[in-house]
Amino acid sequence: MVVRLSDVAARAGVSVKTVSNVANGYLHVKPETRERVQAAIDDLNYRPNLSARSLRQGRSGVIALAVPALDMPYFAELTRAVVEAAAERGWTVLVDQTDGLRERELEVASGLRGHLIDGLILSPVGLEVDELERSKEDTPLVLLGEKIAGGPVDHVAVDNVEAARLATDHLLGLGRKRVAAIGYQARADAASGVAPLRRRGYERSLAAAGITVDAELTPQVAGYRRVDGAHAMETLLALPEPPDAVFCFSDLLALGALRVLAERGLRVPEDVALIGFDDIEDGRYSTPSLSTVAPAKDEIARHAVDMLHDRIAGRDAVPARDVRVGFEIVPRESTLGRGQTGPSGP
């Protein structure tokens, strides 16, 4: 049997309007009345008619999140954080995967309006600024990541340059002399995004230590998955003088590298110290546990949802905002040794 507002009102002894106010989260309801109405809602298992609400309010209570790859742990963990932040506002999240393809991202940015979404959080890889400028006119939009920063759309990201610099500093601070980097890319579409920023941070750290970048210690990768890290590590170990430390631009790259080191019988960190980036759960349970850069994923999600809420509420006059969230360097066994962890840094 469908439970209506009038049924809840009768159970609580209040008007239908009061029940509506409680169900919609309006603040101006006496605490004792709100408690009584909520008890009736719970007893009757009342669920709002979202379709009817969207017709009245011109909103659906549904937002979309589009990321390049859901099978990459970083994006899976970020998706969970966005869903939780959106739930606090009573929103449902429609999740889509773009595979980092420009055509798919454009379809998501311009085509999900037909699904009655109120707004979109997008982590772009292929889209350009002018294409997003057109899309934001139709749907409130917030960007994640580094593909398009400082543009006409609200944007949330980590300071990748500084994070990479501090990760490399951590390796140099252990006394390592030949610090390699796995994550350099030669693709044309890698001119923007995290790759050049993390590369810049790595090179800044070396320069500050008086070390010249060695091209042999920066093998290029096709992507940021485990297999790419494994192949790059094999290239590094084939050198006449292999590295004694490696900064990987993602934890998945680091886990692939860690596998190859284990297969070759090399000790981590005694022979080769290793640090990644992303702080995915897999790295906390690898052997040895993986030192990493930990972006504040919950903070990224909260800012993105809050900024999207502002745009949905009609605050279009506010200039586009560019928010930088925090991160930590998390030393674990892959740089400090078995059973060791160290203090984190901002």
Q: Locate 208 and state its tokens.
A: 């500050």
Structural domains in the chain? 5-48 (1.10.260.40), 61-157+296-325 (3.40.50.2300), 160-295+329-336 (3.40.50.2300)
Cα 272 from chain centroid (whole Å) = 29
pLDDT at residue number 145: 87
When pLDDT is averaged across residues 32-56 and rounded to a whole number, the result is 76
CB 172 within 8 A of CB 179: yes
For the chain, give the mean pLDDT.
88
**Strand, helix or coil for residue 41:** helix
Cα 58 from chain centroid (whole Å) = 29
**Strand, helix or coil for residue 84:** helix
Which DSSP state fits 185? -
Q: Give 56-109 pLDDT, tens digit per residue.
A: 455 678 999 999 999 999 999 999 999 999 999 889 999 999 998 888 888 888
pTM over cut 0.85: no
- CA 69, CA 174: separation in Å to the nearest integer? 34
Q: Give 241-274 pLDDT, tens digit per residue.
A: 999 999 999 999 999 999 999 999 999 999 999 9
- CA 321, CA 307: separation in Å to the nearest integer? 8
- CA 171, CA 259: separation in Å to the nearest integer? 20
Q: Give 140-180 pLDDT, tens digit per residue.
A: 899 998 766 667 789 999 999 999 999 999 999 999 999 99
pLDDT: which is higher, 316 or 109? 109
